[in-house]
Amino acid sequence: MKLKIAFVCTGNSCRSQMAEGWARHLGSDVLEVYSAGTHPTDRVNEHAVEVMKEAGVDLSSHYPKTLEDIPFEIDILIKMGCGVVCPFVPNKYEEDWGLEDPVGKPIDEFRKIRDIIKSKTIELMEKVRNGSYV
């Protein structure tokens, strides 16, 4: 049985979308992956799509979602570092990755955040696969 994981931030336009992309790319065998925003924007940030494409992950069909668009109960909740209090989402395990939002910054900042998210996702996948995520 796959674990349900949700990546949550404010706009669901960049960090949480990149995390969803990485988790689907690296862990679709063990995870059912979602992302959402507390105040979703109207589209995924074009720089996020571009830098993920550079890394071989396609976000072109992704769109911002609300918390109501994800399952009510999640096994693993990852907060991206929204700087706001996220509404309570029932979960078994939770982390706050505390990542700075690159929106409005040069594309190299998106690449840095992309690579940090990839690294954190790989670490999380190792925990999930060996059963030590809790």
- The pair of three-digit structure tokens given for residue 7, joined into one six-digit string: 């990546």
pLDDT of residue 113: 97
Q: Which residues are catalytic?
A: 9, 82, 86
Question: Tens digits of per-residue pLDDT, 6-29?
Answer: 999 989 999 999 999 999 999 999
Contacts of 101 (CB under 8 A, 6+ apart): 9, 10, 14, 15, 81
pLDDT of residue 54: 98
Domains detected in the chain: 3-129 (3.40.50.2300)
Contacts of 134 (CB under 8 A, 6+ apart): 92, 93
Question: Tens digits of per-residue pLDDT, 86-108?
Answer: 667 889 999 999 999 999 999 99
Average pLDDT taken over every residue of the chain: 92
Question: Tens digits of per-residue pLDDT, 66-91?
Answer: 999 999 899 999 999 866 566 678 89
Q: Closest Cα to residue 33, out of 86, 82, 69?
A: 69
